Amino acid sequence: MAAQQSDQFKKVIAHCKEYGFIYQSSEIYDNLSAVYDYGPYGVELKNNIKQYWWKAMVQMHDNIVGLDAAIFMHPKTWKASGHVDAFNDPLIDNKDSQKRYRADVLIEEYMEKIEKKIDKEVAKAGKRFGDAFDEQQFRETNDRVLRNQQKFDEARDRLAKAMTDGDMEELKNMILEYEIACPESGSRNWTDVRQFNLMFSTQLGNIAGEEGKLYLRPETAQGIFVNFLNVQKTTRQKLPFGIAQIGKAFRNEIVARQFIFRMREFEQMEMQFFVAPGEEMKWYEYWKEARMKWHKALGTPDEKLRFHDHDNLAHYANAAVDIQFDFPFGFKELEGIHSRTDFDLSQHQELSGKKMQYFDPEKQESYVPYVVETSIGCDRMFLTVMSQALQEETVPDAKGKDSTRTVLKIHPALAPIKCAVMPLLKNREELTSKATEIFNDLRFAFSCQYDEKDAIGRRYRRQDAIGTPYCITVDFDTLEDNTVTIRDRDTLEQERIPIDQIEKIVREKVSMKQLLKD
């Protein structure tokens, strides 16, 4: 991370706080770790981001519909989705290197080593015996191979049992018995194995116990999957079709940092697209392109965005790609596009005993659809917008000298405040009353602000700092000919326009239409 980029990140965080975009949660109680509140301008910007997504995904597609599922779901949901198992990481620390590892991964690596030993032995024997070599027979009879194979099998069985039983002590014992050393320090000075469950739990009813245990959803997708048939039937959708949802999700991250990039409570904007088996890769490619286009429409330069293929796929996916953004701390995942196969629906079908199938009228058969998912972090999108928007410029001041201008160059369609109305001077009643009149009319159309305090230049700069794209100024000419000046945030240029044209002109400039048109 370059020092300059790090500076930019600090500036973004400070700006968010100072101008009412984002505050840390529970600040008066010394904050709650990795939880943030959106302030007055933050909530406007976030709502606009959500609206842009919803418009693009739901309202502009005939075959995508919306959903708002509850945060609480039946506990079996998370068994089916694999989160109960996959989100339980047994972790162990090496006291000397102070590195943290997943205990099960350490044991798996140990097993791999044994496997390699066996393969080496077999390869060696193969060379020795030449064409007459019978690998099967060698593996079944060679002493050294058999001994290693036995070790391997034992480790595999013990690991499997310990993982299903959640037996942390056994994992620790295995690491000690197998004399597994820290890859970094070579030391065998380990802490105990501790379980970290990434799901938050609470209980249903007021009696604590396993039966009533509920989880706060770690992803919004499952609310869509369990409602798949409800939505399909009530909206008479045919494959392919999608269900979109914006909502909160919760993960008890071990380390949650980097401002709103990784939070314990966060908001996802997800769309699950249901397709016929065999067509998933076609749609996977389609959504890859469509989602990238959505990002670029905001004016994000090409070099700030890239695709990044997943090296190891999650338990539910057969293809997965990230859209990464060049955050001030480097390229990081902003959105994921996953081909989730029929994993989720099949799992739910199995655990619930209810059919999760679609009857295809053309093929005259029923099947479990495949799913292609697009999933974007709303808060990360917010950070994306903020971190490119915040700029410092050198512009001439009233005396023609250089001064620094802090400006948020947010796309007008996303800007929290679309337009500010201000009288040139505040001690002239004829100016303030005219400006107030214009403001009171415009506020019906957009989020507007009225400001008469301080010098006009300062007021412009204040609007720059919160990203307001247009400022309307009422001056003495206004009283003569009913025109005002409209100032552009980015070019600083002013244009004279008639009062009755303000709404039309601003509306056009802040519309999402330009973002969504081809």
Q: Is 258 in the site for RNA (CB under 7 A)?
A: yes
Of 418, 489, 515, 365, give the one whose Cα is nearest residue 54. Answer: 515
Q: Which of 84, 122, 168, 198 binds RNA (CB under 7 A)?
A: 198
* Closest CB to RNA among residues 59, 195: 195
Q: What is the rounded distance in angstroms from the CA atom of residue 325 to the CA atom of residue 300?
A: 9
Closest CB to RNA among residues 232, 432: 432
Q: Given the complex with RNA, which of 6 and 482 has the nearer CB atom?
A: 6
Give the residue, chosen from 473, 502, 510, 512, that forms a contact with RNA under the rule CB under 7 A.
Answer: 473
**Residue 476 lies near RNA (rule: CB under 7 A):** yes
Q: What CA–CA distance (Å, rounded) separates 370 from 491?
A: 49
Size of the site for RNA (CB under 7 A): 80
Name the strand (E) or helix (H) holding 159.
helix 143-165
Angle formed by the axes of helices 143-165 and 103-129, nearest 10° = 160
313 forms part of the interface with RNA (CB under 7 A): no
426 lines the binding site for RNA (CB under 7 A)? yes
Residue 484 in contact with residue 495, Cβ under 8 Å?
A: no
Among 308, 365, 373, 324, smallest CA distance to 344 is for 373
Name residues contacting RNA, limited to 136-165 (CB under 7 A). Answer: none
- Closer to RNA at the Cβ: 337 or 413? 337
Q: Is 190 in the site for RNA (CB under 7 A)?
A: no
Q: How far is CA 395 from CA 4, 385, 388, 400, in A?
A: 21, 23, 19, 9
Q: 146, 176, 204, 455: which one contacts RNA (CB under 7 A)?
A: 455
173 vs 332: CA distance, rounded Å: 37
Which residues, 364 to 423, sit near RNA by CB under 7 A?
Answer: 375-377, 379-380, 395-398, 403-406
User: Which of 9, 287, 370, 439 is the binder for RNA (CB under 7 A)?
Assistant: 9
According to the binding rule CB under 7 A, does residue 199 interact with RNA?
no
Residue 417 contacts residue 449 (beta carbons within 8 Å): yes
Closer by beta carbon to RNA, 149 or else 197: 197
**Within positions 228 to 257, which residues make up the interface with RNA, using CB under 7 A?**
251, 253-257
Binding residues among 17-56 for RNA as defined by CB under 7 A: 17-18, 24, 29-34
Give the C-alpha separation, 174 to 473, whole Å. 74
Instruction: Say how many residues make up the chain.
Output: 518
In the region spanning residues 56 to 85, those forming contacts with RNA, defined by CB under 7 A, are none
Decide if residue 333 touches RNA (CB under 7 A): yes
Q: Which of residues 259-278 bind RNA (CB under 7 A)?
A: 259, 262-263, 266, 268
Per the structure block, which two tokens stand in for 305? 């965005």
176: how many CB neighbours lie within 10 A of its CB?
11
Are the C-beta atoms of residues 419 and 469 closer than 8 Å to each other? yes
Contact flag: residue 451 with RNA (CB under 7 A):
no
Binding window for RNA (CB under 7 A); candidates: 14-22, 128-136, 297-305, 364-372: 14-22
